[in-house]
């Protein structure tokens, strides 16, 4: 069995930056265990498998695997899948079936191997719990207690399909100094995947509004995490009063040398969150064939 594959860098227009993603475009017929084994072989944060959609009007059915498990939803695989489908099918609107639900995306081609995709969140973020123990958070992140918190933001747990512990810190210098303490990690960040999304506001940085780092999910640090950015929309929306549309740009991965730019958008009506979306660029950096013949 021979399967073509693509490697993309997502949340960037520049090769060898952003968050790398493997895409297997013709994955029909693969068993779940085979998909998991292939994702483990690529050993990237996620691998996407594109299959024929269950409904004819949709663009594709997408399966998303880390090296260790399948995910119902993830942001950078969704952006990457949308860019691949947009480039291959020369379409600007996509309907993608994921385990979390139907994802609608808009695609804009830049050139033969680059494009930008933005998609509406299939599930709006919801607050799961507070995170009140600042001392434990500080110890797990290797920072001081007074470094926890930014502006009006307080630590909390949110999910837009995947659960994240959202931890605001005082400024970008503190964010740079974060160092995961694995001894206390799972006890402090005990929801689901034990993932912490540490963020701060960046009023002194002209190209973005927010900076973030993501730790957990068995990946160490991840350079660009769309599902965490989607969860963060829930916390951001809580601090915006009234109705209207809000747009933010988030940077992630800078501390790893893999800078990512993630566009966030949300709308509120009568103080309730009614819409959320994330987006970014992606570039194809490699093509190849998996040779699985024995």
Catalytic positions are: 46
154, 237, 244, 245 from 269: Cα distances, Å: 23, 11, 7, 9
Closest Cα to residue 23, out of 64, 71, 72, 58?
A: 64
DSSP alpha helix (H) spans, 53-105: 75-89
46 with 20: CB under 8 angstroms?
no
Q: Give CA–CA dist 231/247, Å, rounded.
A: 15
- Closest C-alpha to 197, from 181, 206, 208, 223: 223
Contacts made by residues 37-44, CB under 8 angstroms, sequence distance 24+: 38/3, 38/65, 38/290, 39/65, 39/66, 39/67, 40/67, 40/68, 41/290, 42/67, 43/67, 44/20
81-29-34-283 Cα dihedral, nearest 10 degrees:
-20
Residue 158, beta-bridge partner list: 127, 164
Coil, strand or helix: which one is 182?
helix
Which of 33, 27, 151 has the alpha carbon at shortest distance from 77? 27
């Amino acid at each position: 069995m021979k399967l073509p594959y693509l490697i993309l860098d997502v949340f960037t227009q520049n090769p060898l930056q952003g968050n790398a993603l493997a895409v297997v475009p013709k994955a029909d017929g693969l068993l779940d265990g085979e998909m998991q084994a292939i994702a483990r072989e690529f050993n990237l944060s996620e691998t996407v498998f594109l299959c024929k959609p269950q409904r004819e009007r949709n663009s594709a059915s997408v399966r998303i695997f880390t090296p260790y498990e399948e995910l119902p939803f993830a942001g950078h695989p969704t952006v990457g899948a949308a860019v691949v489908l947009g480039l291959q099918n020369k379409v600007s609107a996509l309907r993608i079936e994921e385990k979390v639900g139907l994802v609608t995306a808009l695609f804009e081609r830049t050139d033969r191997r680059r494009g930008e995709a933005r998609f509406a969140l299939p599930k709006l973020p919801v607050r799961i719990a507070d995170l009140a123990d600042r001392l434990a958070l500080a110890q797990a992140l290797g920072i001081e207690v007074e470094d926890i918190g930014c502006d009006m933001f307080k630590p909390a747990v949110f999910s837009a399909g995947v659960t994240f512990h959202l931890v605001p810190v005082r400024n970008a210098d503190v964010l740079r100094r974060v160092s995961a303490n694995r001894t206390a990690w799972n006890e402090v960040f005990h929801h689901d995947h034990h993932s912490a999304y540490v963020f701060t506001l960046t009023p002194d940085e002209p190209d973005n509004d927010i900076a973030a780092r993501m730790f957990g999910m068995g990946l160490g640090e991840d350079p660009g995490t769309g599902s965490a950015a989607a969860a963060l929309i829930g916390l951001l929306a809580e601090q915006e009063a009234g109705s209207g549309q809000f747009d933010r740009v988030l940077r992630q991965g800078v501390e790893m040398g893999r800078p990512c730019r993630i566009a966030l958008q949300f709308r509120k009506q009568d103080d309730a969150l009614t819409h959320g979306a994330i987006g970014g660029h992606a570039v194809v950096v490699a093509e190849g064939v998996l040779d699985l013949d024995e």
